[in-house]
Amino acid sequence: MRIKRTDTSFTIDGFKVNHKYHYGEYTRNDNDGPRTYNVKDKKVPSVTTILSGTQSKQKREALDKWRERVGYEEAARITNQAATRGTEMHYVLEQYMKGQGYLNLSKKGSQPRMMAHQIVENLDKLSEVYGTEVGLAYEDQWAGSTDLVCVYDGKPTIADFKQSNKPKREEWIEDYYYQIAAYSLAHKKQYGEIVQGMILVCTKDLLFQRFMMNQDLLSEYEEKWFARVEDYYRGVK
């Protein structure tokens, strides 16, 4: 994988774009309550909505304590800043993975670009890209958009890009595993095989982390995901 600079953009090479699947698109609803996607004639809850709706009491309390500790105004500033940075980083990577060039010369574009490049430099085993920002749905039970469907180290893979303020411990990222499992199940249901998951994290200080889900771990979290979906629908009835 190589990053190339021209006068007007950055691009990457070393992989091929393969439109193996004809991925559908689902419009998103963000303004009328918890996020849903329009799947055929139904509003289907997003993966993140289900995760939020089944969040443990311990995790909710930890988030509330953090807000109280730093102050609600500062917590909102940190959250919004991270969201803006993450959105731009994702957009950079999306354009690169489509085989397109991109360069944001604004001051706010510099850090997300460097973070994206840190991720790219650790994708040496990426050989094919099937799709970016791929919309996926599992019947009318859940829907969402995964960052990347690809072939990594010779295996069909669901990958998600994450930005972070600080390095992650594996015990902190279980929701990421659930996300990958949900997208994997939907992809297998709609399109084709997925045998591993990959979570690629870059901190604002440019520390890169990779968390892999082999087939056994992926299967374990697919089963756990079905249980969370059942809990979610039990709670909304």
pLDDT in tens, 91-118: 999 999 999 889 998 888 999 999 999 9
Residue 7 lies in a domain: no
How many Å is the maximal CA-CA distance in the chain? 56
CA distance 102 to 37: 28
- The domain in which residue 63 lies consists of 14-236
Q: Going residue by residue through the chain, which has 237 residues, state the pLDDT in tens, using 9 for 90 and above.
A: 789 888 889 999 999 999 999 999 999 998 878 999 999 999 999 999 999 999 877 777 778 787 888 888 887 888 888 888 989 999 999 999 999 889 998 888 999 999 999 999 999 999 999 999 999 999 999 999 999 999 999 999 999 999 999 999 999 999 999 999 999 999 999 999 999 999 999 999 999 999 999 999 999 999 999 999 999 999 864
Residue pointed to by tokens 């439109």: 19
Q: Quote the number of domains for the chain.
A: 1
Say which CATH number the domain at 163 has.
3.90.320
Cα dist from 23 to 19, 76, 182, whole Å: 9, 35, 16
pTM above 0.85, yes or no: yes
Residue 2 lies in a domain: no
SS3 106: coil
Backbone angles phi, psi at 55, to 5 degrees: -65, 140
Residue 4 lies in a domain: no
